[in-house]
Amino acid sequence: MSDTLTVNLTVNGEKVSRAIEPRRNLVDFLREDLQLTGSHVGCEHGVCGACTLRVNGEIVRGCLMLAVQAEGAVVETIEGVSDSGEIADLQEAFHERNALQCGFCTPGMLLAAADLLNANPGAGRDQIREHISGNYCRCTGYQAIVDAIEAVGRKRSGQSS
Amino acid sequence: MTEKSPLTVLDRPNSFIGKSVSRAGAKRLLEGRGTFVDDMTLPRMVHVAFCRSPFAHAKFGAINSEAAKAASGIISVVTGRELAEYCTPWVGVLTHLQGLKSAPQHAIALDKACWQGEAVVAVIAETRSQAEDAVELVEIDYQELPVVADMETALDDATPVIHSDLGDNLCFQREVDIGEVDKAFADAHCVVEETFNFGRHTGVCLETRAIIADYNPSEEHLTVYLSAQAPHMMKNLYAKHFGLNEDKVRVVCKDVGGSFGIKVHTYPDEMATGALSIMLKRPVKFNADRLESFVTDIHARDHRVKARMAVSKEGKFLAIDMDDLTGIGPYSVYPRTSGIEANQVINLTGGPYTIENYRANARVVFTNKNGMCQYRAVGHPIACAVGEGLVDAAARAMDMDPVELRRRNLIPDDAYPYTYATGLVYEQLSHHQCLDKLLEMMDYDGLRREQAEYRDKGIHRGIGFASMIEVTNPSPAFYGVGGAFISSQEGCTMRLDHTGGITCTVGVTEQGQGSDAVMAQVAATAVGVPMENIRIVSGDTDVVPYGGGTWASRAAGIGGEAALRAGKALRENLLEIAAIILQADAAALDIQDGAVVDADGGTERMPLSELGRIVYFRGDTLPKDVQPELVVTRHYVPKAFPFAFTNGVEAFYVEVDVDTGFVKLLKCWVVDDCGTIINPMLVDEQIRGGVVQGIGGALYEECLYDERGQYLNATMADYLTPMAMEMPDIEVGHVETPTKDSELGAKGVGEAGTTGAPAAIMNAINDAIQPFGKHVSDMPFTPERILKALGKV
Ligand code: FES
Ligand code: FES
């Protein structure tokens, strides 16, 4: 077993301290050490976006960041933003519009969508498409996802949909 | 629309058939609370990783695993010969594909690897990273063998034979020759000819393949958690090859992260995982990483088709003559075989049209590449692109509008039942209605005007069509008759609980397409309860009725009919008991919105929870000779036709940048006829998702191999799949022609989008570059290929 380092961070509002191998990436740490299996792993090389997480308020690819780099960081996962109700409107819109099929891309997609709408609730379809272009979905063909994000953006910015 | 009597269950009050109900099962996925296989951890579970052959074809001798065994966390290092004690080899043949042959395939290669990526040694460790680390420490003495990389020369005398026992590299050949093909070509006013190449591509399920096998030696019982489509099929195969009593094998499919036909096959590494669990007497997990997925998940569509079509002066299609060649890797994949795609290609080409003379030859050859087998729309995109490509070639040659040419040849909507040249029987299709609707949706004339205006400005836009047919609701004619234990029938067991809730167990499986939701809509409608009273359980062979699972667009049509029959039967039982309790005539009662009501007027008599309470807790109050049965099971297998064909038409509007070769997809329209639509939203999303997978094959996706059989682009960064930015909005319309083979009347829709998209895109690109007198027919249509066709590189 390689040497471990102790990492202290906040995950979904809870303080966590664990001894981990320096090579362990953040999404594996969350999934395997903390059993937060809502974040998914689709490629492990930074392309698919299934591992999208929020670290200190910014979305990152959990497979491209080492867990030890999260020392002192505030990490939020799909479990956290679901329980807090922060993205309840997005989840509801995805549900109503069937903007997910297998749901494997969905946690990452929702975090990417939330990131866009927090910055720009009035984003148009092309901006939405561009923003989620790093999040692959193999099932939906994306249109329903764009529809759902657009509808929430409109609601949030007070326009009727 | 439908000729059914108004008393059918579909017309019941509060019917959910035809409603865009949201999927109850999607909620957990939205909160990251789904259960995919890799989310699960069992007590004492260990992890397996594999040493995989770096060569496409190589013998191997000594395996030195000393260093690996000494590494930290290692439980065991297992060779193919050691594992063969626990798992017998298999041969991927079906008796109805006459002459199809293949070699025995082992879970782990014994002494020869036949493709780059074949598992050669298994390393089992406490953690996955320990197993992967130790894989690097295993020393294997490989001797490279000559590689069969090119399917065109696979049958040449000078080419080495991959499996010497088979005598040659021919897996399967089928010829059909119907009517008078030579005469038709001799009499033709116009003959068009084309060679089409289809790039090898793969499913890229976002969740890679994953399995946990948990063998309990005390009971000789094996439980397998699998990301898969056909749990009963796998249960049978595990028992057969591990030498277990099939009754003591349980397969559980929880959430599945995309499958598309990729997860309906027997994978050697998954079989190895099962055998290792038996060997090690503890749970073993295998989760393919993305690189392993690219080199081991089945590939599809590596076809080269030379085809020609004879056309009369009036624009009537007289004959098709074609030759299909496909290279399927070193083994026919078990148990569905790798002969089906070619078989579909020669069955389906030209299928929407009244063509009477037809000749086709299909050859399926072995190569030293990863295996090919059934992936979403199996053969359809190839057959459709060949047929529709010839149609547009004829339109260009005869200077006719491609829509007009199609109109003259599509099977008339009043000509059914119709038997196509290749023997396919169509119950009732609606090509002309679909085409009319599509033209209206897209404003065809307006679009042509717009195209002309842009052309004047030097902007090259094109419009392309594809009429299509799709094989759905397969009967046993697909696999069962060939000797495979792949069920075509489906069952549904329905139980009224004392709460008034209804639990349904179904054999079809949820892959995200929404089959659980559709089953719930049918069940709620048939019994007469609100959607929230229905709970669907699927994917567990210990629990659900025997079924085939999800493949060939069968879940809604076959599983849905089983649910309908079960719901009707349960309703009848409930009314019988209600009549006794209420001292009424059963025929005067109905069930609506979860309560027994007067059929006439709908006054509530008793909620189902009250009926449940009496039956389950106060049976003493019922007459002595009455024994209520609140659980029923019903099954369904299609009988009237081998397949329920559906039809549809797709159109694309594209812009080709003739300087860069880039294709921009401006818009896509689809009109599909899948019979009764149970959930319009889910049907539309199946079509959209399918279209986008078809776009992938048409424009981006290709598994590239070099002449040594080395896979060149096995990462998600190098193998391009469709991303949100490049995808068009897709407008979907419908015509509904229910099949009369079932009361529900539903046919399949899962593969329609994928079938037509490549053909329509090809035709649109060719329409755009027609002024240059050039055209393309090699997929994917990369910028480089388009510039080459234009003579610019
Ligand atoms: S798993 Fe991190 S981007 Fe794919
Ligand atoms: S819903 Fe399956 S990958 Fe997006």
* A51 in contact with ligand 1, CB cutoff 6 A: yes
Note whether B36 contacts A106, CB cutoff 8 Å: no
Q: Å from A8 to nearest chain B CA?
A: 23
Q: Is residue A114 part of a domain?
A: yes
Chain A hits for B30, CB-CB cut-off 8 Å, are 82, 91, 94-95, 100, 103, 106, 110
What does the radius of gyration of chain A's CA atoms come to, in whole angstroms? 16
* A46 in contact with ligand 2, CB cutoff 6 A: no
Q: Both tokens of residue B638?
A: 């299609």
- Angle formed by the axes of helices B231-242 and B268-280, to 10°? 60
User: Domain ends where: A81, A113, A147?
Assistant: A81
Q: Both tokens of residue B508?
A: 């079809």
Provide the 3-class DSSP secondary structure of residue B39. helix
Per-residue pLDDT tens digits for A7-41: 999 999 999 999 999 999 999 999 999 999 999 99
Q: Whose CA is nearest to atom 2 of ligand 2?
A: A102
pLDDT in the model for residue B7: 58
pLDDT in the model for residue B5: 44
> What percentage of chain B reaches a pLDDT higher than 70?
99
- Shared-domain flag, residues A72 and A104: no
- Shared-domain flag, residues A12 and A49: yes
Q: Which of B28, B30, B204, B206 to mutate to test the pocket of ligand 2 (most atoms within 8 A of CB)?
A: B206
Per-residue pLDDT tens digits for B735-784: 999 999 999 999 999 999 999 999 999 999 999 999 999 999 999 999 99
Per-residue pLDDT tens digits for B462-488: 999 999 999 999 989 888 888 889 999
Note whether A100 contacts B29, CB cutoff 8 Å: yes
Chain B hits for A135, CB-CB cut-off 8 Å, are 724
Note whether B30 contacts A110, CB cutoff 8 Å: yes
> Which residues have a Cβ under 8 Å from the Cβ of B123 and sit 6 or more positions away?
B48, B49, B50, B51, B65, B68, B74, B76, B77, B78, B131, B134, B135, B138
- Shared-domain flag, residues A76 and A142: no
pLDDT in the model for residue A2: 60
User: Domain ends where: A44, A66, A81?
Assistant: A81
> What percentage of chain B reaches a pLDDT higher than 90?
96
Amino acid residing at B571: R
pLDDT in the model for residue B543: 97
Among chain A residues, the shortest Cα distance to B718 is held by A47
Mean pLDDT of the residues in chain A: 96
Chain B hits for A146, CB-CB cut-off 8 Å, are 724
User: Is a pLDDT exceeding 50 seen at residue B2?
Assistant: no
Across the A/B interface, how many CB contacts are shorter than 8 Å?
Answer: 171
| Torsion angles phi and psi, residue B223, rounded to 5 | -110, 130
pLDDT in the model for residue B495: 98
Residue A102 in contact with partner chain B when CB distance is under 8 A: yes
User: For the domain that residue A127 is a member of, what is the CATH number?
Assistant: 1.10.150.120
Residue A39 in contact with partner chain B when CB distance is under 8 A: yes
Per-residue pLDDT tens digits for B27-77: 999 999 999 999 999 999 999 999 999 999 999 999 999 999 999 999 999
Q: Is residue A35 part of a domain?
A: yes
Q: Whose CA is nearest to atom 3 of ligand 2?
A: A137
Q: Which of A41, A55, A132 to mutate to test the pocket of ligand 1 (most atoms within 8 A of CB)?
A: A41
Q: Å from A43 to nearest chain B CA?
A: 5
If you measure from the C-alpha of residue B117 to the centroid of ligand 2, how many angstroms do you get, rounded to a whole number?
26
| Mean pLDDT value across residues B498-505 | 98
Per-residue pLDDT tens digits for B73-114: 999 999 999 999 999 999 999 999 999 999 999 999 999 999
Long-range contacts of B592-599 (CB under 8 A, 24+ apart): B592/B13, B592/B14, B592/B528, B593/B14, B593/B528, B593/B529, B593/B530, B594/B500, B594/B528, B594/B529, B594/B530, B594/B533
- Shared-domain flag, residues A56 and A103: no
Chain A hits for B717, CB-CB cut-off 8 Å, are 45-47
User: What distance lies between CA B780 and its chain's CA centroid?
Assistant: 20
CB nearest A102 (choices: B33, B256, B722) = B256
Amino acid residing at B533: N
Q: Both tokens of residue B40?
A: 């699960």
Chain A hits for B38, CB-CB cut-off 8 Å, are 31, 37, 41
Per-residue pLDDT tens digits for B332-371: 999 999 999 999 999 999 999 999 999 999 999 999 999 9
Chain B hits for A133, CB-CB cut-off 8 Å, are 723-725
| Mean pLDDT value across residues A150-155 | 98
Chain B hits for A95, CB-CB cut-off 8 Å, are 22-23, 26-27, 30
Beta strands in B539-582 (DSSP E): none
* B73 in contact with ligand 2, CB cutoff 6 A: no
Q: Å from A80 to nearest chain B CA?
A: 9
DSSP state of B490: E
* A134 in contact with ligand 1, CB cutoff 6 A: no
As a whole number of angstroms, the distance between CA B131 and CA B400 comes to 63
As a whole number of angstroms, the distance between CA B700 and CA B697 comes to 6
- Shared-domain flag, residues A110 and A67: no
Residue A73 in contact with partner chain B when CB distance is under 8 A: no
Question: Residue A141 is part of which domain span?
Answer: 85-156
Give the bridge partners for B263, in sequence order.
Answer: none
User: Is a pLDDT exceeding 60 seen at residue B4?
Assistant: no
Q: Which of A47, A91, A102, A146 to mutate to test the pocket of ligand 2 (most atoms within 8 A of CB)?
A: A102
- Shared-domain flag, residues A44 and A73: yes
Q: Is residue A67 part of a domain?
A: yes
Among chain A residues, the shortest Cα distance to B294 is held by A43
Of B12, B44, B26, nearest to B528 by C-alpha is B12
User: Domain ends where: A28, A62, A81?
Assistant: A81
Work out which ligand 1 atom sits closest to the CA atom of A47. Answer: 3
* A137 in contact with ligand 2, CB cutoff 6 A: yes
Provide the 3-class DSSP secondary structure of residue B639. coil
- Shared-domain flag, residues A71 and A44: yes
Provide the 3-class DSSP secondary structure of residue B79. strand
Break chain B down into helix, strand, coil percent, rounded to 5: 30, 25, 45
Q: Is residue A161 part of a domain?
A: no
Q: Is residue A106 part of a domain?
A: yes
Closest ligand to Cα B258: 2
* A139 in contact with ligand 2, CB cutoff 6 A: yes
If you measure from the C-alpha of residue A111 to the centroid of ligand 1, how many angstroms do you get, rounded to a whole number?
14
Long-range contacts of B593-597 (CB under 8 A, 24+ apart): B593/B14, B593/B528, B593/B529, B593/B530, B594/B500, B594/B528, B594/B529, B594/B530, B594/B533
Note whether A104 contacts B206, CB cutoff 8 Å: yes
Number of residues that make up chain A: 161
Residue A142 in contact with partner chain B when CB distance is under 8 A: yes
Confidence of residue B11 (pLDDT cuts 50, 70, 90): confident
Q: CA neighbours within 13 Å on the CB side: how many for A144?
A: 30
Judged by phi (left if over 0) then psi (alpha if -120 to 50, else beta), residue B703 lies in: beta
As a whole number of angstroms, the distance between CA B358 and CA B420 comes to 10
As a whole number of angstroms, the distance between CA B662 and CA B622 comes to 75
As a whole number of angstroms, the distance between CA B631 and CA B642 comes to 31
- Shared-domain flag, residues A94 and A66: no
Confidence of residue A77 (pLDDT cuts 50, 70, 90): very high
| Mean pLDDT value across residues B695-709 | 98
| Mean pLDDT value across residues B202-214 | 98
Beta strands in B562-630 (DSSP E): 589-592, 595-598, 604-607
Strands B74-79 and B119-125: antiparallel
Give the bridge partners for A57, in sequence order.
Answer: none
- Shared-domain flag, residues A76 and A95: no
> Which residues have a Cβ under 8 Å from the Cβ of B254 and sit 6 or more positions away?
B34, B35, B36, B37, B40, B225, B539
pLDDT in the model for residue B8: 72
Lowest mean pLDDT among A13-27, B2-16, B317-331: B2-16
Residue A43 in contact with partner chain B when CB distance is under 8 A: yes
As a whole number of angstroms, the distance between CA B241 and CA B749 comes to 34
- Shared-domain flag, residues A119 and A67: no
Q: How many domains does chain A have?
A: 2
Edge-first strand order for the sheet with B357-365 is B170-178, B357-365, B317-327, B303-311, B190-198
With the C-alpha atoms ordered B50, B54, B58, B64, is the resulting torsion angle positive or negative?
negative
Residue A67 in contact with partner chain B when CB distance is under 8 A: no
Q: Which of A98, A132, A139 to mutate to test the pocket of ligand 2 (most atoms within 8 A of CB)?
A: A139
- Shared-domain flag, residues A46 and A59: yes
User: Is a pLDDT exceeding 80 seen at residue A159?
Assistant: no
Confidence of residue B14 (pLDDT cuts 50, 70, 90): confident
Strands B644-656 and B631-636: unpaired
Higher pLDDT, B480 or B279: B279
What does the radius of gyration of chain B's CA atoms come to, in whole angstroms? 28
User: Is a pLDDT exceeding 60 seen at residue B589?
Assistant: yes
User: What distance lies between CA B261 and its chain's CA centroid?
Assistant: 4
Domains in chain B, start-ordered, CATH in brackets?
9-34+489-636 (3.30.365.10), 37-145+206-259+263-296 (3.90.1170.50), 299-476+640-789 (3.30.365.10)
Residue A34 in contact with partner chain B when CB distance is under 8 A: no
Note whether B724 contacts A135, CB cutoff 8 Å: yes
Q: Å from A93 to nearest chain B CA?
A: 10
Note whether B716 contacts A143, CB cutoff 8 Å: no
| Mean pLDDT value across residues B390-400 | 98
For every residue of B16-29, DSSP letters joined together read -TT--PPPTTHHHH
Among chain A residues, the shortest Cα distance to B32 is held by A38
Neighbours of A44 (CB within 10 A): 22
- Shared-domain flag, residues A9 and A66: yes
Q: Å from B100 to nearest chain A CA?
A: 33
A146 membership: H or E segment, kind and range: helix A143-156
Q: Is residue A122 part of a domain?
A: yes
Among chain B residues, the shortest Cα distance to A141 is held by B689
Note whether B511 contacts A135, CB cutoff 8 Å: no
Closest ligand to Cα B513: 2
Burial class (CB in 10 A: 0-12, 13-18, 19+), B165: exposed
Amino acid residing at B559: G
Three-state helix/strand/coil letters over B335-401: CCCCCHHHHHHHHHCCCCECCCEEEEEEEEECCCCCCECCCCCCCHHHHHHHHHHHHHHHHHHHCCC
As a whole number of angstroms, the distance between CA B113 and CA B76 comes to 21
Test the B interface: residue of A45, A131, A143 with most B CBs within 10 Å: A143
